Structure 1
Amino acid sequence: MGEVDEISTAPTCRYCQRLRGDSPSPDFCSEDCQAAWLADRAEVRQPEDHGRSARADLPEIAPAESLTWLGPPPGAFVKPGHEVLDAVVSFVSRFSAFPNEHCAPTLALWCAHTHIADRLYVTPRLILDSAEPGSGKTRVLEVAQFLVSKPEMTISITPAAIFRMLINGPMTLLFDEIDAVFNPKTGGNNEDLRALLNAGYKRTATVTRCVGDAKSMNVTRFPVYAPVALAGIAGGMPDTITTRAITMHMRKRRYDEVVEEFIEEDVEREAEPIRADLETWTTRVADDVARARPERPDGVRDRAAEIWRPLLAIADAAGDHWPETARKACSHFVLEAGPQTVSTGVRLLADIRQIFTAQATDRMVTAELIRELHALEDSPWTDLQGKPLDSRRLAKELDRYLVRPKDLKVNGKTLKGYRIDGDNGLADAWSRYLPPLDPAATSATSATPQVDGTAEAHSPPGPSATSATQVADGRGANEPTATPLTSAVAQVAAVADETTQPPGEGR
């Protein structure tokens, strides 16, 4: 075998001489080595020979075949980003009937980010759920597997297998039938998997394990950062995962909604050039995306802003209609996606604020407050695990928010009740856990206070409509309007309509 053949078939990298591993190139272990090899040969020769002779330390034997590039060769044509993403949207829409116009663009952005996940600090989880089977969740994953980077589609996998698979870098995990994994009614527990999925949305996440036998045990940190999509029946997903996710609520197709037949080998073949364009373009803009701090829609903040940042940055890099399309999708999934599960405590705070605002009062005795809560239409307060809400349960729920009953003077008697202002009042909890009230939602007339004190100190005059709104917001009469919260409670009415299970007694 000649010298040229030995070079071209060697399992080591041509530049650093280390093993090429699973690199797709027969010549280099990484793009960095490839670029360095080319840079060495492009160097200007020393002045003394005016570039007439080659450097002695650089082998001049030509490769047996043309170099295999890991990325696009310099000067290669790269499609514009908006055309690449548009092609992804068109492709996935051929096989799925999405419930709204925002799902397909969001899926395209999510698929794009998987190709540069190793350059990002955060990867949003993608959740596909539905009320009933046969709603197209699995089909979305089946199509997406041919568009994402390094897909691993699975129904059952252990945490140990996951973090060993991720040793060599992020891969895209596509979980189907995840409801069977986490649903406690079917015996689902999997706390280790839940913790792994929770932590792994950030690049710094690791799982620590002891590796080796008893005589040579070492502590090893395994990286668990990876893009993840999860599909399953709604209701079984842990809240700690949903807060790190973009959730698409899939529905059964109507009879007039037609999609193309899914033949896997045909779909794989047709998806390949689209996936290649997606990988090529995202690789080209990866550094810009990683450095970007995109403007986000009003009301999107905290973790929602964190998980949407890479998708908005990719949309900005794509240009054309994509910056606007992505922000509309972000607003939809974060702010307008319909009622979301809220805790019993937040529901209680919202209902109490509704009662205080309707009564235009700043205080109320416990017995009267409980009667008003029981009277609310569609409220859960008459049946909490088989028992109606009483003063003891009310105090226990509110105490978690540092709201505690106070002594109130009522017709010469001292009774327990709750106030808006003051230490352990409701105002602070309302301002932290609920959005501000719309002033137009309050009555234009004053109402008679629920508590008639026997002394002026305990019998404030009935507040005006404006002051009632400000007090109910927890802002006071002279404080500026607070920034709207972006929690699961988008509106007070939405909170009041949402029925949730009470927290466990141990909380």
Structure 2
Amino acid sequence: MTARDDMERLAQSADAPEVDALMLESEEELIERLASMSVLAYERAKKGAAERLGLDQPGLKRVVDEHRKHRPTSDEEVSGSGMAFEVVEPWPEELNGAALLSELALNIRRYVICQPETAHAAALWAAMTWLIDVVQVAPIANITAPERNCGKSVMLTTLGRLAKRPLMASNITPAALFRAVEQWQPTLLIDEADAFADNNEELRGIINSGHTRDTAFVVRVVGDDHEPRMFTTWSAKAMAGIGKRAGTIESRAIPLRLRRKLPHEHTDRLRSSEADKLFLVMRRKLARWTDDHAHRLADYTPDMPAALQNRNADNWEPLLSIAELAGGDWPRLAVHAALTLSGVEEAPSLDQELLGDIREVFETRLVDKLASADLLAALIEDEEKSWATSNKGRPMTPKQLSNRLKSYGIKPVVIRVGIATPRGYRRDDFQDAFARYLEQPGSLTATAQQANNGAGLSVAVQVQNATSKNLSATLKPLPDKACDNVADRNPALGQSDEDWLVDYEAADNMEDF
């Protein structure tokens, strides 16, 4: 049979209205058109299309289904498939990413009582939902609290009002989940997870499969012929519930832990006209910034802290990428949130470890200077430290100690110890390095009070942790420049969330948040 015979046979078939289009299109255009058709239109066109492409009908369906998985879908198309999602008009102007993320975090804390790290992670996750088409890992936002009335549903609703195509469900079956994701590509927000999801292994398996783009599929048989079909499970997902989730869920999640609101803590009403307007603006800004930067994120690899390993690193990779693309202080804030919420600490370098041990020696011995030999002996005698074996199994030498400290600008000098004048180290020479490279054992609760010739002397008190002593120092008089009663508030030392928000909103940058 010739090609002309094929054409004539097609023209005489029931699919004749499709013939002209079939012959004029390239194969790629034909597959794209088939992928965009309704079910009815596809059923009418599939016979002619399969013959044109030299495929049987099951083969054609596999090709079209595969194309649909990677085909961008507009909100208008999704809205026409049984679910009405809001069409968000992007913000008309270019936006600063760091400022946008800061605005998101601030507004999350207007409605939810949570730590700054939780707000930062939630803001990054909300931005990720708008970039789901280009990221390779979709970590679950796992909203948990130890008891009821801690704001889990409020956080879930807040994320829903920031996310792209939010679909809220207080209960969902496994079949409904993968079919909803296949058809609508929503951000799926599952409330009351402790009530129905924890003991549902099939549901958990489907949720877990959507963690990475490569594994985000389930296979089911459909129709009277029980034809195998592959469904995508690739979408952003958030879950809220009391207590812990199953280990397989938590290992694929960003933990957003909440706490019960105290009587003096205040949040704004989430269900109000003011909130509606606010979140509409936030969605429009997210739509614009993510549209502008999606192409950069597709192949972006962030600087990953060494403390984040394996799946934990996978979970945070898209969020850290977004933070780095946003710039400003957000790369640091994102890393801090990742390490804090994941319960890990970034491992100090060997030199940082040495600085910490030297500080401990000075504090334990209550001296302000030490001969090199005495400092080295104190470091080596502690069997739990590494310095007794750091020199290829032998103790560290004075020369090695000096070389390690040289990078911090610290050198041994001649000191006086009794009547002897050995070379050694002064505590004051370490203060800059201690401040810059080590976590401080305490926090200042007040700006140091300055002595004033006209007002007498004052005393500065530095509050440290319970294992350290308070340091007090009487200051020398200054010329008539009074400086007193300036307090810095710190949430870790009892500052209320409401006060924190005032400081946050007034801050010129995010350094303290």
TM-score between the two structures when normalised by the length of structure 1:
0.52
Matches within 5 A, 1:436-455: none
Q: CA deviation at 1:331?
A: 1.3
Corresponding residue SS for 2:306: coil
**CA contact 1:299–1:335 (8 Å) conserved in 2:** no
Runs of 4+ in 1 over 3 A off after TM superposition: 16-22, 29-34, 69-73, 464-470
The Cα offsets for residues 410-468 of structure 1, whole Å up to 9 and x where unpaired, read as xxxxxxxxxxxxxxxxxxxxxxxxxxxxx98xxxxxxxxxxxxxxxxxxxxxxx98889
Higher mean displacement: 306-315 or 164-173: 164-173
For the residues of structure 2 that align with 1:95 and 1:33, how far apart are their CA atoms?
A: 32
Aligned to 1:217: 226
**CA contact 1:154–1:176 (8 Å) conserved in 2:** yes
1:191 pairs with 201, 205, 209, which one? 201
The question of 1:256 aligning with 2:272 is answered no
**Paired residue type of 2:266:** V
Q: CA deviation at 1:192?
A: 0.5
Matches within 5 A, 1:145-156: 145-156=160-171
Matches within 5 A, 1:423-462: none
Q: CA deviation at 1:175?
A: 1.0
Aligned to 1:90: 106
Q: CA deviation at 1:264?
A: 4.9
Aligned to 2:252: 244
Q: CA deviation at 1:318?
A: 0.7
Q: CA deviation at 1:477?
A: 6.6
Aligned to 1:298: 306
Aligned to 1:230: 239
**Paired residue type of 2:105:** V
Q: CA deviation at 1:120?
A: 1.2
Aligned to 1:309: 317
For the residues of structure 2 that align with 1:322 and 1:163, how far apart are their CA atoms?
A: 34
Q: CA deviation at 1:300?
A: 1.0
For the residues of structure 2 that align with 1:106 and 1:256, how far apart are their CA atoms?
A: 25
- Cα 1:202–1:170 change in 2 (3 A) is farther
**Paired residue type of 2:203:** L
**CA contact 1:118–1:169 (8 Å) conserved in 2:** no
Matches within 5 A, 1:259-298: 259-264=267-272, 266-298=274-306
Q: CA deviation at 1:89?
A: 1.4
Aligned to 2:124: 109
For the residues of structure 2 that align with 1:318 and 1:33, how far apart are their CA atoms?
A: 26
**Paired residue type of 1:96:** V
The Cα offsets for residues 198-238 of structure 1, whole Å up to 9 and x where unpaired, read as 1111112211111111xx22111111111111111113x10
**CA contact 2:88–2:287 (8 Å) conserved in 1:** no
More helix as a share of residues: 2
For the residues of structure 2 that align with 1:33 and 1:133, how far apart are their CA atoms?
A: 38
- Cα 1:21–1:106 change in 2 (3 A) is farther
**CA contact 2:88–2:283 (8 Å) conserved in 1:** no
Unaligned runs of 5+ in 1: 1-12, 23-28, 35-68, 184-188, 338-438, 441-463, 471-475, 479-507
Corresponding residue SS for 1:108: helix
For the residues of structure 2 that align with 1:289 and 1:31, how far apart are their CA atoms?
A: 18
For the residues of structure 1 that align with 2:161 and 2:257, how far apart are their CA atoms?
A: 22
**Paired residue type of 1:142:** T
The question of 1:332 aligning with 2:340 is answered yes
**Paired residue type of 2:101:** L
Matches within 5 A, 1:295-444: 295-336=303-344
**CA contact 2:89–2:284 (8 Å) conserved in 1:** no
Corresponding residue SS for 1:86: helix
**CA contact 2:179–2:231 (8 Å) conserved in 1:** yes
**CA contact 1:172–1:227 (8 Å) conserved in 2:** yes
For the residues of structure 2 that align with 1:179 and 1:31, how far apart are their CA atoms?
A: 35
For the residues of structure 2 that align with 1:131 and 1:72, how far apart are their CA atoms?
A: 38
Aligned to 2:94: 78
Q: CA deviation at 1:143?
A: 1.5
**CA contact 1:126–1:230 (8 Å) conserved in 2:** yes
For the residues of structure 1 that align with 2:33 and 2:89, how far apart are their CA atoms?
A: 20
For the residues of structure 1 that align with 2:73 and 2:242, how far apart are their CA atoms?
A: 46
For the residues of structure 2 that align with 1:300 and 1:173, how far apart are their CA atoms?
A: 26
Aligned-residue Cα RMSD (Å) equals 4.1
**CA contact 1:178–1:231 (8 Å) conserved in 2:** yes
The question of 1:133 aligning with 2:148 is answered yes
Aligned to 1:501: none
